[in-house]
Amino acid sequence: MALSQVVGRLIGVRQHLVDPGGGGADRVPRPTTALVVGGGIAGMSAAVVLAERGVAVTVLEAAPTLGGRLGAWPEALADGSQQNEHGFHAFFRQYYNWRSILRRVDGDLGFLKAIPGYPILSEQWPTEEFGKLPPAPPANLLALLLRSPSLRLADLRVMDRDAALPLLSYDPVRTYADLDDTTADELLASLRLPDRARAMLFEVFSHSFFNHEAEMSAAEMVAQFHFYLLGNPEGLAFDCPDEDYATAIWQPLTRYVEKHGGRILTDCAATGVHHDGEGWRVTTTDGGSHPAGHVVLAVDPPALAALVAASPDLAERAPELAARMPAFGTPGPPYAVARYWCDGDVAAERAVFSGVSRQPTLDSVTLYHRLENESRRWARQTGGSVIELHAYACEPGVPAEELAERMRRELVALWPEAGDLRVRELRARVEAQAPAFTPGSHSWRPGVRTDATGVYLAGDGIATDFPSALMERSAATGIIAANHILRAEGAAAEPVRSIRPRGLLAGRLNRQNTT
């Protein structure tokens, strides 16, 4: 264990048990049925836990393949078939609940490989490396201040330290009370940071949540800064699968759920949720009607809002949920993913994954042929490369191919040799499914339990009372939804874990506010 982690554990920077689980029989003591609408991380996490406990669970997925924003599907290229994916995702090591689900199919998580380094590229400033900081706070913060060329000790003298205190003082109640109506942009401006530090340390970070800092709650930015940097013992280190998501995750999880008696139906979009006697019934586009005692709605915000609007029974029994849907169903800005199959390669020293700062469109670069086995084999056979470019929060109304070309040109400005690559194949798309974390949204963001008995929500836009984000929030809310069902039916629940619940200086901020 690294010295920083030892010190971190002494001050409470360690894994925390949010819900100990247990409290009942290993399996449901009576016949229990559940429907899970949505086959992404949230829905499949719920399905795994329910199936293990003997619940007759059926997953209804609208797409032909599972995964949601972690999905993968076959793509026909001119020289053969390849798996294409929704986009690169970093499996951070404090994703305790998501990793617990993945251990059902690989106990050692052997398919996850460490990604060396976490560079941030900029056309204006030299590359900055964040992947080699000590893993745990406060050592990682001290190392950042000592090593980062973007924020020197002299800059701290002019920085507004009172304005910066909330970054170190996350509290699940006070942070939102004080900062949720403020934008991340306003908070950053109040710090009086050098422009380089703001761009390299904070703006890249906020874009990673598919939100512009001018449209994102300052409280959410503080919460995520705590979750990824200042409150967890693992630091910014992350891993990624060495196979495509379908091969490494969704096919094995499908087999696991089916082995435990569950069913998974794809190409089966829900059209309505109806009250049915003592339970519920979900209708689908294929004319199906699926009854169950419990329902978990694990779909993205626009789909959830549309489903509630199409379900008068549900809206009548859950008026609070229905009232929150118009705002919740408005997603964050569009995001774009472009994958290039190219002749030739970029320089050998280029990192597998890089964040990007202050380019108009481009937010990250992933070299799939140095990450994933299938792409690695293709590159070896052709002498080429497989490069994926992301825009996390891009301009609305721009076609995917145009965004892809903008990103490609911006990459060439950072890595000039990329301009010499001939593009053999391109797959580009632009979507708007990620949740928005706008100022003031915390007060109306729905949680897992709804005001309709037997109906639960899960996903990365659903509120939790402990630190979580992105894939980990999806998995955690899926498990919590399953736990509500299990406890209602007399079965043991699954443990839920998270990081340190409050910031290192949260006590100091609370004392200041009470004097």
Tokens in use for 219? 């409280």
Cβ-Cβ contacts under 8 Å for 407 (sequence gap 6 or more)? 336, 338, 361, 362, 389, 390, 391
Ordered DSSP codes for 188-203: HHHHT--HHHIIIIII
Tokens in use for 395? 């301009």
Look at residue 266 and give its three-state secondary structure: coil
Strand partners, 356: 121
What's the confidence (pLDDT) of residue 163? 78
Tokens in use for 315? 């809206």
Look at residue 46 and give its three-state secondary structure: helix
CB atoms within 10 A of CB 183: 19
- Burial state string for 31-56 with b = 16 or more CB within 10 A and e = fewer than 16: ebbbbbbbbbbbbbbbbbbbbbbbbb
Tokens in use for 482? 């399953």
CB atoms within 10 A of CB 189: 14
pTM value?
A: 0.94
The answer to whether the beta carbons of residues 36 and 47 sit under 8 Å apart is yes
Strand partners, 284: 270
Look up residue 476 and give its amino acid.
A
What's the confidence (pLDDT) of residue 7? 46
Look at residue 167 and give its three-state secondary structure: helix
The answer to whether the beta carbons of residues 105 and 246 sit under 8 Å apart is no
Report the sign of the C-alpha dihedral through residues 242, 247, 251, 255, in that order: negative
Backbone φ and ψ for 444, nearest 5 degrees, come out as -115, 5
Which class for 162: exposed (0-12), middle (13-18), buried (19 or more C-beta within 10 A)?
Answer: exposed
Taking the C-alpha atoms of residue 76 and residue 183, their distance in angstroms, rounded to an integer, is 43
Taking the C-alpha atoms of residue 340 and residue 359, their distance in angstroms, rounded to an integer, is 19
The answer to whether the beta carbons of residues 140 and 191 sit under 8 Å apart is no
Q: What's the full length of the chain, in residues? A: 515
Which class for 220: exposed (0-12), middle (13-18), buried (19 or more C-beta within 10 A)?
Answer: buried
What's the confidence (pLDDT) of residue 11? 52
Identify the helix (H) or strand (E) that includes residue 306.
helix 301-309
pLDDT tens across the length of the chain (515 residues): 554 454 455 456 689 999 999 989 999 999 999 999 999 999 999 999 999 999 999 999 999 999 999 999 998 888 877 788 888 999 999 999 999 999 999 999 999 999 988 899 999 999 988 777 777 777 877 777 667 777 776 666 777 778 788 888 999 999 999 999 999 999 989 988 888 888 887 788 777 888 888 999 999 999 998 999 889 888 888 999 999 999 999 999 999 999 999 999 999 999 999 999 889 999 999 999 999 999 999 999 999 999 999 999 999 999 999 999 999 999 999 999 999 999 999 999 999 999 999 999 999 999 999 999 999 999 999 999 999 999 998 999 999 999 999 999 999 999 999 999 999 999 999 999 999 999 999 999 999 999 999 999 999 999 999 999 999 999 999 999 999 999 999 999 999 999 999 998 887 555 555 44
Q: How far apart are the first and last CA of the chain?
A: 40
What's the confidence (pLDDT) of residue 9? 55
Tokens in use for 375? 């792409």
